[in-house]
């Protein structure tokens, strides 16, 4: 179709298309740059007529400003664009870590059987609420993120997404996640999730620009998700359900201290008042990290003493905590970027290994399941219930009183161990019928 086409000079092109002004493109002297009055930028390559031996011509329709719809193009491009923006706005990798801690709390709060449908609903609701909290965090910090190298490419400071759009996304997904938890779990789990969203977005986020105490408030935010999972599974808050949240709280302090030390210049540029802001030598930062690592030492013992895990977890937890404490001590003695990064990597390794060990060595809450089954039987058949009660009364007169978890949680020689160092081998637990 271009067999009889001739070359258009810049002057003749301007006469044919008077709305466009032609000037040489910056990247190619022979290619014209066409600036129009539209509201987006798009590059359009014109096909080269046959028989013309010159370099290929290309034109770029330049648009000043720009709307989101104008930039994304067709449906597939729009899906990819907004999907990527929502992924980054939600801090999806961080949200998945939050979901993992919530799922671990759900498993720990379950009995001998785990409701996998309930586990999935709890993780989905937690993921939505976490995504909403992270999105609101970026909405409030868009001007700060634009000043920092590691955050200036996020959707809001880069202009790939508008602030009203982000607020609408955060509100929708947060409301959906809270409703899902209230519907599929219970009101207490939904209330904890909603409270955590408010604490993160409206307390922790502004505190980052006001006072270094924001690190400790943020640690509380990170400790609540496993409690959400525990409550969703068990329906209440018990001392055993606070072990994993406490471990997460103390773990986050050295994790954030290492990050704040490594990125302190970036935080200063962004206007965030981190603990390392007024600690030029890094001594106080390293000391706080070391102290909170030591606070992690008794976590394994508490889990064992309260009948939640076997004694092996106590030993493994102690060794794991000694590992991260050694990294923190090395950073305290020699405050270099290399040692800070080593402590940061040690903190990244600690959390998944600790949770995996907790889940692997957990002891189900047998006595609650037994009581629930007996209560259900009494409600369905009162006559059978009377026989069961009489049988239990007879057995109680002949057998000594035992702790419900004594056969599972303790061996006869477990008390000979010096807590929190149970170096005795794993005992062979006696049967409940013996």
Note the pLDDT of residue 71: 56
Q: 332 or 423: which carries more pLDDT confidence?
A: 332
List 61's β-bridge partners, or say none: 34, 42
H helix and E strand count, the chain: 19, 4
Q: Could you tell me the two tokens for 304? A: 């064992």
pLDDT (mean) for 255-275:
87
Note the pLDDT of residue 139: 95
Question: How far is residue 330's CA from residue 249's CA, in Å, rounded to a whole number?
Answer: 22
List 309's β-bridge partners, or say none: 362
Question: How far is residue 290's CA from residue 285's CA, in Å, rounded to a whole number?
Answer: 9
Q: 371 or 292: which carries more pLDDT confidence?
A: 292
Residue 218, CA atoms < 13 Å, CB-side half-sphere: 21
pLDDT (mean) for 339-359:
94
Question: How far is residue 64's CA from residue 69's CA, in Å, rounded to a whole number?
Answer: 14
| pLDDT confidence band for 293 (50 / 70 / 90) | very high
pLDDT (mean) for 282-310:
94
Burial class for 29, CB neighbours closer than 10 Å (0-12, 13-18, 19+): exposed
Q: Report the chain's terminal Cα–Cα distance, integer Å.
A: 94
Give SS3 for 56. Answer: coil
Question: How far is residue 322's CA from residue 330's CA, in Å, rounded to a whole number?
Answer: 12
Instruction: Check the CA dihedral 339-154-196-120 and report its sign.
Output: negative
| pLDDT confidence band for 115 (50 / 70 / 90) | very high
Question: How far is residue 282's CA from residue 332's CA, in Å, rounded to a whole number?
Answer: 8
Note the pLDDT of residue 18: 46
Q: What digits encode the pLDDT tens for the residues 374-395?
A: 444 444 444 444 444 444 455 5
Q: What digits encode the pLDDT tens for the residues 43-89?
A: 334 444 444 344 433 333 233 334 454 456 688 888 888 899 999 99
Q: Which of 60-64, 362-366, 408-412 has the lowest mean pLDDT?
A: 60-64
Question: How far is residue 420's CA from residue 161's CA, in Å, rounded to a whole number?
Answer: 52
Residue 150, CA atoms < 13 Å, CB-side half-sphere: 10
Q: What digits encode the pLDDT tens for the residues 177-218?
A: 999 999 999 999 999 999 999 999 999 999 999 999 999 999
**The dihedral formed by the CA atoms of 45, 49, 50 and 55, expressed in degrees to the nearest 10:** -60
Note the pLDDT of residue 111: 84
Question: How far is residue 150's CA from residue 259's CA, in Å, rounded to a whole number?
Answer: 12
pLDDT (mean) for 225-251:
95
Note the pLDDT of residue 309: 93
Give SS3 for 404. Answer: coil
Q: Which of 106-120, 142-156, 269-283 has the lowest mean pLDDT?
A: 269-283
Burial class for 62, CB neighbours closer than 10 Å (0-12, 13-18, 19+): middle
Say whether pLDDT at 288 is over 60: yes
User: What kind and span of H or E run contains 144?
Assistant: helix 142-145
Tally Cβ neighbours within 10 Å of residue 45: 11
Say whether pLDDT at 5 is over 80: no
Of 172, 170, 135, 173, nearest to 154 by C-alpha is: 135
Say whether pLDDT at 340 is over 60: yes
Q: 370 or 296: which carries more pLDDT confidence?
A: 296
pLDDT (mean) for 290-312:
94
Who's near 227: CB < 8 A, 6+ residues apart? 105, 192, 237, 241, 242, 244, 245
Q: What is the mean pLDDT of the chain?
A: 77
- The pTM (predicted TM-score) of the whole model is 0.69
């Amino acid at each position: 179709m271009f067999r009889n086409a001739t070359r258009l000079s810049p002057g003749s092109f301007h006469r044919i298309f008077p709305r466009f002004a032609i000037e040489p493109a910056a990247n190619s002297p022979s290619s014209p740059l066409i600036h129009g009055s539209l509201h987006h930028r798009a590059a359009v390559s014109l096909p080269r007529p046959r028989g013309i031996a010159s370099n290929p011509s290309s034109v770029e329709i330049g648009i000043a400003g720009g709307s989101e719809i104008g930039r994304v193009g067709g449906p597939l491009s729009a899906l990819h664009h907004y999907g990527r923006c929502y992924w980054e706005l939600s801090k999806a990798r961080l949200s998945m870590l939050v979901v993992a801690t919530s799922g671990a709390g759900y498993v720990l709060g379950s009995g001998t059987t785990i409701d996998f449908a309930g586990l999935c609903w709890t993780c989905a609701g937690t993921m939505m609420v976490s995504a909403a909290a992270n999105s609101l965090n970026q909405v409030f910090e868009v001007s700060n993120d634009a000043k920092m190298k590691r955050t200036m490419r996020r959707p809001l400071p880069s202009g790939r997404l508008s602030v009203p759009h982000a607020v609408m996304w955060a509100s929708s997904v947060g409301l959906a996640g809270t409703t899902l938890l209230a519907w599929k779990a219970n009101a207490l789990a939904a209330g904890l999730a909603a409270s955590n969203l408010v604490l993160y977005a409206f307390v922790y986020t502004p505190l980052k620009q006001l006072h270094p105490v924001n690190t400790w408030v943020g640690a509380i935010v990170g400790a609540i998700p496993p409690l959400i999972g525990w409550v969703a599974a068990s329906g209440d808050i018990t001392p055993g359900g606070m072990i994993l949240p406490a471990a997460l709280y103390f773990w986050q302090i050295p994790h954030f201290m290492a990050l704040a030390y490594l990125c302190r210049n970036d935080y200063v540029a962004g206007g965030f008042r981190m603990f390392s802001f007024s600690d030029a030598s890094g001594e106080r930062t390293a000391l706080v990290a070391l102290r909170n690592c030591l606070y992690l030492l008794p976590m394994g013992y508490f889990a064992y003493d309260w009948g939640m895990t076997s004694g092996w977890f106590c030993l493994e937890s102690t060794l794991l905590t000694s590992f991260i404490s050694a990294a923190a001590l090395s950073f305290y003695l020699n405050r270099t970027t290399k040692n800070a990064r080593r402590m940061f990597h040690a903190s990244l390794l600690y959390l998944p290994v600790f949770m995996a060990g907790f889940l692997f060595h957990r002891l189900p809450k047998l006595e609650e399941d037994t009581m629930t089954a007996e209560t259900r039987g009494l409600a369905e058949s009162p006559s059978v219930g009377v026989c069961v009660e009489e049988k239990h009364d007879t057995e109680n007169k002949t057998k000594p009183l035992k702790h419900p978890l004594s056969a599972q949680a303790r061996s006869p020689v477990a008390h000979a161990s010096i807590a929190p160092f149970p170096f005795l081998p794993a005992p062979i637990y006696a049967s409940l019928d013996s």
